[in-house]
Structure 1
Amino acid sequence: MKKAMLLVLLVFSLTTLNLSVSNAQCAMCSINAEQGVEHGNSQTKGINAGVLSLLAAPFLLMGGIGFLWYRKYKEPHTNSPL
């Protein structure tokens, strides 16, 4: 168990310490997103919907893990002396 936690901590540390700068969008996407807000075109709404749908997956995953964790530790312990 300790080896698994150490491995998770090591992987997390290595991924968060990688501080390279990158551009997330191509020039055309960023121009559409910036100009679409001013003009109210439908491409901007599509980009926003795509971002929200991509953002939902990690939140659902972490929420599910949190729910399972809560449910597991909510059960009464049979080993307790009381």
Structure 2
Amino acid sequence: MKKQLRFLFFFLALGLTITTVVPAKAQCAMCTATVESNSESGASATNGLNNGIMYLLAAPYLAVAVLGFIWYKKYRRKNVELNMRQEKLNLN
């Protein structure tokens, strides 16, 4: 039951993440000036440039997330026994 609840929560979070996408415009100052001058003349390179910049922005975060997930799955321990003393700790 707990595993099913975990999968349900994961897919709910994934679905909310995918459906609540906010469009973003990410361009440097020189790219913006070039694209604005080209778009005034009728070129449609603006959308392609924005999508390319967003792709380059998301790639490192995706790579770190995948590596973190692999590390978590590989190195997490199951059935760890904690040998703690029964006496109180004095932290002074």
Q: TM-score, normalised by structure 1?
A: 0.45
- More RCO (CA 8 Å, sep 6+): 2
- With the length of structure 2 as denominator, give the TM-score of the two structures: 0.41
Higher helix proportion (structure 1 or 2): 1
Larger radius of gyration: 2
